[in-house]
Structure 1
């Protein structure tokens, strides 16, 4: 092993304790977190192991890095149990939501799915259930999932200091949106905010917990999601900030009182642009989510809200665009930040 390789195996970003969760999320999202080594706390600071130097962040070379024991691979646990010609189809990734593992199983492995579920529970003994994910359905985008191991039920997912209670069999929670949830946590301080498709509080809760707006009106039409929204407001002790509203945001969105409006739905979002824009005070910011062809990003994302504002006699200026995740081949989920005058 070369000296340069040795040094890379010791590199760590140093941040304060209050910044650690955000830093870990950013490093993980960008593939810079060294998962072989443990995160270490020293005297109020946190050392986060990284694979290389990160621009703009303080770096140290650890004198005694702490390594994890190597976890077995899923394929190791299933060696001899899965036909050799199917081993390459085994899942290479999964999402842990609270104490529930969510995984996609290739259709050619369907007769082995319960064996795969049991193996995943052996890999993660703190988890109690494995769900095979098969997409979403219906008006409320409810998950299509099958229990393949363990006992399903409600769980509490912790992310960036925020608690999300939900039933993974009935409620979606996108791992790919973590960066945007963290970004929302840094916005809205002292503002009046309207969250038009609030769900269980995906964006309202991080904003309320970390930025403390004066008020968030969180509107959700799905009664199951709304029930969890109410419970999550209580769990995170932000009852004084978030007002949960059950119903259709096409009817219940207030007019002319918001400094910031979140439109965190995709697919149907364009139909509600008029309501989102009318909710804003002059100079307010609209966060408009939509799926667009990758080759047309960001123009196809920015055009609808700017056009809708013009039809209402208001000027609109794009102030930022962010890719959230790949939605499908050639399609990206993005969010446009639009200031409306």
Structure 2
């Protein structure tokens, strides 16, 4: 939207607005009038850490918890403490129908259920283990499981995914994380079933985005006795100049490496 000569950009999560720029009193009033929002938060920085916590400043209102509806799913979220990316919208839709009732799925970075909830609702796999370290995200993950009535499918666990029970084998593994995702690949292969698929997210320089992620998957997979059978690389969005957020759908088969 525009206000005079200045274009006001915002992201709407439920009835909360997220902005990147400072707003004056007139701009705030205009946004509140147009969007009927209850709160406006300024994201000062996006901090990429293990817990993925944003830094925010409240410009209007006091309530930071809301319920966002997306792709027929409901998501309870505290926008001041938990990240939400509209740039991953199409990927969340795409992944929702990738599983089936025979599969065991592990979501290694479940968050509030970004991928887990739509996958449970539209694919109804046998079981989804949703792993989340951040206690705030985990609290909302549990809420969202109940909100979407998928408690018979989803098992939420407030743990570091590297501590997940290796005797449970996953037919499908979701790795919806960025920047440091490769650090968790060994754990993924430790829990992958003999014939399984990994959805591996990463942030990669565009010049090597068709080679580096695949090489990493092949190398670590081979260490654990897996052969890459087929794969597809999908560009999700631009992450920074010259760098893209991609996902590799990689299907593996267990082999005998002697």
CA RMSD of aligned residues (A): 1.5
How far does the alpha carbon of each residue in 1:150-183 deviate from its partner, in whole angstroms, 9 at most, with x for none?
Answer: 3332100000110110100000010000011001
Q: How does 1:157-196 map to 2 (within 5 A)?
A: 157-190=68-101, 191-196=103-108
Tell me the secondary structure at the aligned position of residue 84 of structure 2: coil
2-side partners of 1:314 and 1:165: how far apart?
38
270 and 75 in structure 1: CA distance in 2 versus 1, 3 angstrom threshold: same
1-side partners of 2:209 and 2:60: how far apart?
40
Instruction: Report the alpha carbon displacement of residue 113 of structure 1 after superposing the two structures with TM.
Output: 3.7
- Tell me, yes or no, if structure 1 residue 136 matches structure 2 residue 64: no
1-side partners of 2:247 and 2:25: how far apart?
38
Q: Report how many residues are paired.
A: 251
**Structure 1 equivalent of residue 225 of structure 2:** 313
250 and 114 in structure 1: CA distance in 2 versus 1, 3 angstrom threshold: farther
2:244 aligned to which of 311, 329, 332: 332
Alignment check: 8 A CA contact 1:253 1:275 kept: no
256 and 314 in structure 1: CA distance in 2 versus 1, 3 angstrom threshold: farther
Tell me the secondary structure at the aligned position of residue 309 of structure 1: helix
Alignment check: 8 A CA contact 1:220 1:245 kept: yes
Residue range with higher mean Cα deviation, 272-281 or 164-173: 272-281
- Tell me, yes or no, if structure 1 residue 124 matches structure 2 residue 35: yes
TM-score relative to the length of structure 2: 0.92
Instruction: Report the alpha carbon displacement of residue 318 of structure 1 after superposing the two structures with TM.
Output: 3.7
Instruction: Report the alpha carbon displacement of residue 96 of structure 1 after superposing the two structures with TM.
Output: 0.6
258 and 269 in structure 1: CA distance in 2 versus 1, 3 angstrom threshold: same
2-side partners of 1:139 and 1:193: how far apart?
21
The structure whose RCO (Cα within 8 Å, separation 6+) is larger is: 2
**Structure 2 equivalent of residue 198 of structure 1:** 110
**Structure 2 equivalent of residue 75 of structure 1:** 3
* Bigger Cα Rg: 1
Q: Whose strand fraction is larger, Structure 1's or Structure 2's?
A: 2
TM-score relative to the length of structure 1: 0.70
Alignment check: 8 A CA contact 2:3 2:27 kept: no
- Tell me, yes or no, if structure 1 residue 281 matches structure 2 residue 193: yes
Alignment check: 8 A CA contact 1:74 1:120 kept: no
Tell me the secondary structure at the aligned position of residue 225 of structure 1: helix
**Structure 1 equivalent of residue 130 of structure 2:** 218
Residue range with higher mean Cα deviation, 185-194 or 129-138: 129-138
144 and 321 in structure 1: CA distance in 2 versus 1, 3 angstrom threshold: same
Instruction: Report the alpha carbon displacement of residue 117 of structure 1 after superposing the two structures with TM.
Output: 2.3
**Structure 2 equivalent of residue 12 of structure 1:** none
